[in-house]
Each structure stands twice: as C-alpha cells, then as structure tokens.
Amino acid sequence: MRLLDLIFYLLKCSSKVTIKELAKTFNVSTKTIQRDLDKLSILGIPIIIYRGKDGGVEIDKNYIIAKQVLKQSDYCALITSLYIGEHLSGSIHEASLIDKFRLMDPNKCSDIINHLQKRLIIDLPYPNFDLESELCQTINQALDNQVLIELKINHEMMEVLPISYVLKPEGLCLYCYTGEYLLIQLAHICEANLSSKVCTDIIIDYNDNKEKIKFITLLF
C-alpha cells in the first residue's frame, strides 16, 4: 500500500522532494524509501532521481497509472465501486479515493463519474455508515478478540457475541449470538461495552444460517 501512496504523493508534489523528506512523510528510513523507489522503477514507474546538492525525486507528470495497470473495463468497474462505496460508507467518502484516481487520469475519471451521476442515482432510506465510528470500533475489538459485548438498545441491556456486519436494505446490521442468532440494526444500538467473557459454542456463519436468524429492527 505504501508504494501506491508514494506514487500518489509524488504525483501531487509540484516539484522534486528529497529522499529524507519522503522518509519523514511516510515514517520510514531513507533506505526503505530508496528500496521503494527501486521497486517502482522495476515496475516501470518513471521515477526521476536527481543527484547532487540540489537533488531530489519526482515522477514524470505525464505518467498515467491507469493506462499502465488497468484495462478500460477494470478502470470503469473500480470507479463505479468507489462511487457506490462513497454513498454507503462515510469512511470511504472521507478517504477521497476517487480524488486520488483523478490524479491518474483526470479526464477519464471525470467522464465516468459524470456518466454515473446521470445514470445511477443512489437514494437510500438510511444514512451512510462509518466502520470507524466509536460504536464500530468497540464492535471491531470484540470481533478481533472474539469476546462478548454488552449492548444498550432502547434502554435495555443485552450481552451478545458479535459475529459479523451485514448490510441490509434497512441499513447496516450486526449479526450476533445470544443463545439464538440475531440481526440488530446498528441505528438502534445506543451504547456498546466490551466484556471479557468468551463464547465456546460453535458459531454458524450468516450465509449458512439465514433461515434461523431473528431480525430485530425495534427492540422491546
């Protein structure tokens, strides 16, 4: 991922930058940056290195990544996915990924986006979700550590084992286990607290268990 970020960074720079500046920006050593630049050169990325007192690094501003790496159909599919993703996820929108792709090929990217805005209207009944929110961060910790969490929903508390997120027409939901399998809309969760408890039951994945899930939209 750093190699791609390095390309984006060099494309944005209006003038050459030193290897030391790049190392500081990416929080790595100058040797690591030098190795990264060597890898990019091997991959055919036109990295220009100027030696001497006023030396530095830049990338050929006429370089277009998309033409080197992606076919037209790949590029369209990728931009379409990002366009849809920005309407679904706040974290994707904030990452400004489409703006990064504009650096690759501004005209092509703008043409695709303009076409999508006319042809594909996304009008969902719920706000976009953010997997980096405080609530999701707590759920994510429980998922990572495979422990239970205590949820507050409509002034009631319940302890569940989170299994996965599920995106439904009603919005983002939490698939979880309490002795029975539940699907709870995140919009109804007021609070989530980590527990140290673990669950030793054998857990069934969502796709293998759809018929036995209790879908909860409004609780209690």
Average pLDDT value for residue range 150-162: 92
Question: Please, which residues bridge with residue 58 across strands?
Answer: 48
User: Within 13 A of 167's CA, how many CA atoms are on the CB side?
Assistant: 11
- Cα radius of gyration rounded to whole Å, the chain: 23
Token representation of residue 9: 């960074």
More confident residue, 66 or 83: 83
Phi, psi of 70 (to 5 degrees): -110, 140
pTM of model > 0.75: no
Is CATH 1.10.3210.10 the right assignment for the domain spanning 2-59? no
Q: What is the pLDDT of residue 104?
A: 64
Residue boundaries of the structural domains of the chain: 2-59, 66-119, 134-216
Q: Which residue has the higher pLDDT, 87 or 162?
A: 162
Residue with tokens 């919009």: 187
Predicted local distance difference test score (pLDDT) of residue 219: 47
Is the per-residue pLDDT at 66 higher than 60? no
pLDDT at 80: 86
**183-220: pLDDT as tens digits:** 999 989 999 999 999 999 999 999 999 988 998 765 44
Tokens at 138, concatenated: 């707590």
Is it true that domain 134-216 has CATH number 3.40.50.300?
A: no
Residues 6 or more apart whose CB falls under 8 angstroms from that of 107 comprise: none
Q: Are both 2-59 and 134-216 of the same fold? A: no
